[in-house]
Copies of this chain bind each other. A is one copy, B any other.
């Protein structure tokens, strides 16, 4: 027998999370998560799941019946959308203006489909004209996929216009709303989004690990008409929906992550209590204050003002400043986490999040004063 390692209980400090996610988690959410685990087929749990579905529909602003939380992080939500909709040989227009657009491309290719990539520079939004040109040039395209709020750059794209374009050319839209849900305006039904996924750990200020998704009736129809079986058993929505929509006759698919779902229920309940429009406004208000303060410190934004995400502020690292050393100082001396740059921006930019519960005055004060001190 191998010997047991001697390990103490892990007692993490209280950090202030102002990176690109996970964001600060509501204390109420942590409390909800630690409530007693009950069975995933317990009638009380099923009642909770019904509430959760209506809360998700509210957050997404949709009446889509196929609205649920995938039992895994946002990347699995992305994969859920692609593997359920795409079939081998399909053509997909994929917009790429950061890490997550490229991840979409990889998903498309792993489904045996063809990705036509529309590139925009990192830090810029997706250009609808370029997308229209790609749609014109590729009449066989069945889907248009893009990232609403690019977590790697802080750029917001015009989802409403892009979805209208998709519809005009007979395509279904697949939208990454990992960083946008709860932080900026997002209206699934009004904008005609067909498949959308998000993450629990951004503007919902829930713990990481779940991915809210929603499929329009047209997307559901596409899934029903598939000629090939979905390549993933775990993410096959035709199986999962028997659990989420079965009502009293719910059938077992996999064991739901019970306690994490308690947490999501609570975070969405807090969002509903605040009101979506109020939450969007709060993110704008807090961004405005942070922006002024960052500019006062001489930090320059990567993204142009009109497409800047209020909840994710990407600024260039001043010349001569040691990226890693500064972030370490913030973490060790102030328990403050800000995000490093990702991909093209690694070592060149910081990402300062104001997501969900993190978007508060006291956090801004701390962040600015701490930055001022460590940059001095």
Contacts and interface: CB of A to CB of B under 8 A. Distances in A.
Given A110-B232, A231-B110, A33 B34 contact: yes
Contact of A7 (B17, B21, B54, B111): B54
Nearest to A24: B37
A34 B34 contact: yes
A103 interface: yes
A32 B57 CA distance: 31
Given A2-B57, A73-B257, A255-B201, A30 B36 contact: yes
Interface stretch (A114-122, A123-131, A267-275, A310-318): A267-275
A207 B259 contact: yes
Contacts of A62: 2
Contacts of A28: 9
A255 B15 contact: no
Copies in the assembly, this chain? 2
Nearest to A36: B14
Contacts of A182: none
A42 B337 contact: yes
A1 to B, nearest CB: 7
Nearest to A17: B39
B22 A255 contact: yes
A9 B36 contact: no
Contact of A233 (B4, B107, B331): B107
A219 B276 CA distance: 48
A208 B25 contact: no
A10 B255 contact: no
Contact of A54 (B5, B63, B189): B5
A241 interface: no
A12 B107 CA distance: 38
B232 A232 contact: yes
Interface residues of A, number: 97
A58 interface: yes
A175 interface: no
Contacts of A150: none
A40 interface: yes
B207 A110 contact: no
Interface string A75-87: 1101100010000
Interface in A10-68: 10-15, 17, 19, 21-22, 24-25, 28, 30-45, 48, 51, 54-55, 57-58, 61-63
Given A1-B61, A25-B37, A74 B255 contact: yes
A114 to B, nearest CB: 15
Contacts of A276: 1, 4
A127 to B, nearest CB: 26
A258 B4 contact: no
A51 B208 contact: no
Contacts of A54: 5, 7
Given A110-B233, A269-B9, A275 B4 contact: yes
Nearest to A255: B208
Looking at A2, A30, A207, A275, the one whose CB has the most chain B CB atoms below 10 A away is: A2
Nearest to A230: B110
A254 interface: yes
Those 3 A-B pairs whose CB atoms lie nearest each other, nearest first: A209-B257, A34-B34, A4-B272
7 contacts: A71-B73, A73-B234, A73-B254, A79-B234, A109-B229, A110-B231, A207-B260
Given A12-B44, A71-B72, A110-B233, 9 more contacts: A1-B277, A25-B36, A71-B76, A72-B76, A73-B257, A75-B253, A110-B231, A199-B255, A209-B258
